[in-house]
């Protein structure tokens, strides 16, 4: 992993400041001369991160301006002629005292023969001069033997010292998934099935943390794009229910498209609309729906935050009651409770069934406390105070009393009383925190906050049957015509309208200044700050690469993806155009015949701008009827005369 090797290089430079460090990877091992040149560049310059790879040795950014004559004839030699012996001479002239450290990135992908040659060359050159040489191999998975690492023994002896884990992908992924379960301030709530699906993709499909993060980004984009209540899903910081009501009321008041949001409220609460059917005016019904949405959103968010604060206590109970559960992933233990409490979409309220399932699960865990030893109970009470630190003051005080009474527990009777106290404490926790969500809040939670049903759709995109780029750019492409166009949306559409591979920034700025919407904060339309923010947003999505140019033309943006998402016609329109009648196609064919064969009622040939459209329709029609597409006649190619044996034959291979 590149970031891990950068971290290892920084650690080496900090621990051994006088040593010479070089880092090479699979892209440097074209041949022995290329990798030797690359190593010498970094060792004799001090760092390979400051200047380009084509720079000459001794011309790095670390050269002092006070001593311009520091380089010698060796430093001014062409880089291609520098080798290991030249580095030894260079080091002797400067009186170097540190060792040499080589970092091999992605060692499993490096050609083994080239790697053995490099180690043999630099090992023999350094050993002859009594220079310590250290080699750090970057590996994603530890090799089973030295043969798997190098395949053969190099010409110099290697002493394998130690193996250190700098970046544990499994531990990092586990922390990310635990945070997704316990973070109540994030209102994009992932059900237990989705969290476990992410873990299974990491464990069985691709062992990559970056892939998990990309999947999460795509999941959030898809959820917010298709969610009519996306205005509610921004992160929050407050915890009290009154403060949550104020936050959601402000977000609803700032929402500019209430005409589309009110029908969605009527769909999720049809019973309330039937009761309010006899209201005096439509404004009264809409006002009541707005108030109901704010109340339900605050209740749903407050319910989830209380669940998240109590998950640590549940985890401590499961580990103490079921000792074998300690060996499974923590996220799996947390999902056992979340899967029971999570609201389910249904026409009728099923909170009573969820309550019975929760009681059965909790009773099973509390029943296993009878077999927990005295040391196990004391260990549980040592973990519970920290686990319950985010609970209410009443629960914390009850736990403090239990911990104080555990110090005097010596007999079996006192131990049983302690078990009863722990059971009563968890019963109170169940009554206060572990309650199924009911009423209008449950319906709004399933519609607005819960990301249900997204895993199957994401699976199609991740395996290649759906477009990742088009889906991620869909919010920018579609937008909403009834509200003001956002700066990022405007700049994205302008970038798509440019026909070439690159576009000048000054041209984008000129058009953006004319088309940007005037706001109260801006003195003029399209201020530079707004343009810069929109440009950085598109750059973070990976849509273009900034390319420098001379002073006359300025900066240009080179596109990284091609195609038209915004200007693409909707699927229904394209299907209607492809399903034209045979009569229209026949008339188009007749228009290409000589004038003597054309009837007066037949239409003439289409304009030049519609030629490509008609050609595509003809090709699609021929394909649907299983007949070949007519090609334009061309003069036959001239073939070389002569026997086949005398004709030259060219073989291409890779």
Q: What pLDDT shows up at residue 155?
A: 67
Query: Does one domain contain both 414 and 498?
Result: no
For residue range 643-652, list pLDDT tens digits in order: 444 444 444 4
Query: Does one domain contain both 432 and 470?
Result: no
Query: Does one domain contain both 241 and 273?
Result: yes
Residue 100 in 3-state DSSP?
Answer: strand
21 in Cβ contact with 13 (< 8 Å):
yes
- CA dist., res. 54 & res. 76, Å (int): 13
pLDDT at 612 over 80: no
Q: What pLDDT shows up at residue 362?
A: 93
* 217 domain residue, yes or no: yes
- Averaged pLDDT score across all residues of the chain: 75
Q: In which residue are the tokens 């990310």 written?
A: 176
The mean pLDDT value for 501-522 works out to: 75
Tally of domains within the chain: 3
- CA dist., res. 369 & res. 384, Å (int): 15
pLDDT at 465 over 80: no
Q: What are phi and psi of 133, to 5 degrees?
A: -120, 125
Give the residue from 519, 539, 559 where a domain finishes: 559
pLDDT at 5 over 80: yes
560 in Cβ contact with 544 (< 8 Å):
yes
More confident residue, 54 or 407: 407
The mean pLDDT value for 598-611 works out to: 42
For residue range 7-58, list pLDDT tens digits in order: 888 888 888 888 888 989 888 888 888 888 888 888 887 644 433 333 343 3
Q: In which residue are the tokens 């589309």 written?
A: 260
The mean pLDDT value for 63-71 works out to: 40
More confident residue, 571 or 348: 348
Q: In which residue are the tokens 């104020």 written?
A: 246
Q: What pLDDT shows up at residue 502?
A: 82
CATH code, domain with 99: 3.40.50.300
Query: Does one domain contain both 240 and 303?
Result: yes
Give the residue from 150, 184, 199 where a domain finishes: 150
Kindly state the percentage of the chain with pLDDT values over 90. Answer: 17
Q: What pLDDT shows up at residue 282?
A: 65
Query: Does one domain contain both 327 and 219?
Result: yes
Q: What pLDDT shows up at residue 426?
A: 94
Query: Does one domain contain both 328 and 436?
Result: yes
Residue 540 in 3-state DSSP?
Answer: helix
- CA dist., res. 479 & res. 449, Å (int): 21
Q: Which two tokens stand for residue 205?
A: 């499909």
Q: What angle do CA 492, 498, 501 make, to 5 degrees?
A: 105
Please report, to the nearest 10 degrees, the dihedral formed by the alpha carbons of residues 266, 268, 272, 276 taken in order.
Answer: 0
* 576 domain residue, yes or no: no
Q: What pLDDT shows up at residue 110?
A: 87
CB within 8 A of 256, min separation 6: which ones? 483, 484
* 643 domain residue, yes or no: no
The closest of 609, 606, 608, 605 to 592, measured between CA atoms, is 605
Query: Does one domain contain both 536 and 481?
Result: yes
Query: Does one domain contain both 444 and 471?
Result: no
pLDDT at 470 over 80: no
More confident residue, 237 or 202: 202
Lowest mean pLDDT among 429-433, 455-459, 613-617: 613-617
554: left (phi over 0), alpha (psi -120 to 50) or beta: left
pLDDT at 78 over 60: no
CATH code, domain with 499: 1.10.10
Query: Does one domain contain both 477 and 336?
Result: no
* 512 domain residue, yes or no: yes
- CA dist., res. 366 & res. 332, Å (int): 19
Tell me the torsion sign for CA atoms 576, 578, 582, 586. positive
pLDDT at 69 over 60: no
For residue range 223-252, list pLDDT tens digits in order: 887 788 888 888 888 778 888 889 888 888
For residue range 526-581, list pLDDT tens digits in order: 477 888 888 887 877 777 888 876 656 678 888 876 555 444 444 444 444 444 44
* 583 domain residue, yes or no: no
* 433 domain residue, yes or no: yes
User: What number of CA atoms fall less than 13 Å from residue 652's CA on the CB side?
Assistant: 0
Give the residue from 397, 425, 449 where a domain finishes: 449
The mean pLDDT value for 201-228 works out to: 84
* 589 domain residue, yes or no: no
Query: Does one domain contain both 336 and 412?
Result: yes
Domain around 504: 464-559
Kindly state the percentage of the chain with pLDDT values over 70. Answer: 72
Query: Does one domain contain both 432 and 487?
Result: no
* 219 domain residue, yes or no: yes
Q: What pLDDT shows up at residue 549?
A: 63
Lowest mean pLDDT among 173-182, 420-429, 452-461: 452-461
Q: What pLDDT shows up at residue 238?
A: 73
198 in Cβ contact with 212 (< 8 Å):
yes
Q: What pLDDT shows up at residue 557?
A: 86
User: How large is the C-alpha radius of gyration of the chain?
Assistant: 35
Lowest mean pLDDT among 12-21, 117-126, 128-137, 528-537: 528-537
Taking the model in full, what pTM does it have? 0.65
More confident residue, 333 or 625: 333
The DSSP line for 125-181 is HHHHTT--EEEEE--SS--SSHHHHHSS--SS---------S--HHHHHHHHHHHHH
pLDDT at 87 over 80: yes
pLDDT at 493 over 70: yes
Q: What pLDDT shows up at residue 341?
A: 92
Find which of 3-7, 151-155, 268-272 is predicted with most confidence, using mean pLDDT.
3-7
For residue range 155-198, list pLDDT tens digits in order: 677 777 778 888 888 899 999 999 999 998 888 889 999 999 99
More confident residue, 357 or 452: 357
pLDDT at 472 over 80: no
Query: Does one domain contain both 189 and 236?
Result: yes
């Amino acid at each position: 992993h590149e970031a891990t090797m950068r971290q290892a290089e920084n650690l080496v430079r900090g621990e051994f400041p006088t040593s010479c460090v070089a880092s090479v990877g699979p892209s440097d091992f074209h041949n022995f001369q290329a990798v030797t040149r690359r190593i010498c560049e970094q060792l004799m310059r001090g760092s390979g991160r400051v200047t380009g790879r084509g720079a000459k040795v001794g011309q790095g950014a670390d050269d002092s301006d006070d001593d311009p004559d520091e380089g010698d004839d060796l430093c001014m030699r062409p880089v291609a002629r520098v080798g290991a012996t030249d580095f030894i001479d260079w080091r002797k002239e400067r009186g170097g005292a540190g060792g040499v450290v080589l970092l091999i990135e992605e060692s499993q992908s490096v050609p083994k023969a080239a790697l053995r040659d490099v180690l043999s060359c630099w090992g023999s050159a350094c050993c002859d001069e009594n220079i310590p040489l250290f080699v750090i191999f970057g590996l994603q998975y530890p090799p089973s033997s030295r043969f798997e690492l190098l395949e053969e023994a190099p010409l110099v002896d290697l002493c394998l010292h130690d193996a250190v884990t700098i970046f544990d992908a499994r531990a990092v992924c586990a922390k990310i998934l635990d945070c997704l379960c316990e973070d109540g301030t994030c209102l994009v709530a992932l059900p237990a099935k989705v969290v476990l699906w992410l873990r299974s993709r990491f464990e069985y499909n691709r062992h990559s943390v970056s892939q998990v993060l990309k999947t999460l980004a795509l999941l959030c984009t898809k959820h917010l794009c298709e969610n009519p209540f996306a205005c509610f899903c921004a992160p929050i910081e407050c915890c009290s229910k009154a403060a949550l009501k104020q936050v959601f009321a402000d977000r609803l008041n700032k929402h500019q498209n209430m005409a589309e949001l009110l029908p969605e409220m009527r769909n999720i609460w049809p019973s309330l609309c039937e009761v309010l059917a006899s209201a005096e005016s439509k404004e009264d019904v809409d006002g009541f729906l707005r108030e109901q949405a704010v109340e339900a959103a605050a209740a749903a968010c407050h319910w989830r935050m209380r669940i998240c604060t109590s998950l640590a206590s549940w985890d401590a109970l499961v580990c103490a009651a079921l000792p074998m559960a300690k060996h499974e992933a923590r996220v799996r233990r947390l999902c056992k409770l979340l899967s029971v409490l999570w609201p389910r979409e249904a026409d009728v309220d099923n909170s009573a069934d969820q309550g019975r399932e929760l009681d059965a699960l909790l009773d099973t865990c509390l029943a296993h406390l009878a077999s927990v030893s005295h040391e196990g109970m004391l260990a549980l009470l040592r973990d519970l105070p920290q686990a319950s630190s985010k609970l209410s003051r009443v629960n914390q005080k009850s736990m403090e009393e239990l911990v104080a009474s555990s110090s005097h527990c010596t007999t079996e009777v006192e131990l049983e009383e302690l078990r009863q106290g722990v059971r009563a404490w968890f019963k109170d926790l169940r009554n206060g925190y572990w309650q199924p969500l009911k009423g209008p809040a449950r319906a709004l939670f399933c519609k607005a906050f819960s990301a249900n049903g997204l895993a199957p759709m994401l699976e199609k995109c991740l395996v290649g049957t759906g477009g990742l780029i088009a889906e991620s750019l869909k919010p920018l492409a579609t937008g909403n015509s009834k509200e003001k166009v956002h700066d990022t949306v405007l700049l994205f559409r302008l970038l798509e309208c440019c026909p070439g591979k690159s576009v000048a920034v000054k041209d984008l700025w000129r058009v953006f200044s004319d088309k940007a919407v005037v706001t109260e904060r801006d003195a003029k339309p399209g201020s530079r700050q707004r343009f810069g923010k929109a440009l950085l947003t598109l750059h973070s999505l990976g849509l273009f690469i900034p390319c420098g140019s001379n002073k006359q033309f300025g900066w240009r943006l080179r596109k990284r993806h091609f195609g038209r998402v915004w200007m693409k016609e909707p699927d229904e329109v394209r299907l209607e155009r492809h399903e034209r009648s045979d009569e229209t196609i026949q008339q188009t064919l007749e228009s290409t015949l000589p004038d003597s064969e054309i009837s007066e009622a037949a239409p003439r040939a289409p304009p030049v701008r519609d030629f490509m459209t008609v050609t595509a329709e003809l090709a699609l029609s021929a394909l649907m009827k299983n007949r070949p597409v007519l090609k334009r006649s061309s003069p036959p190619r001239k073939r070389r005369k002569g026997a086949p044996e005398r004709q030259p034959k060219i073989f291409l291979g890779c």
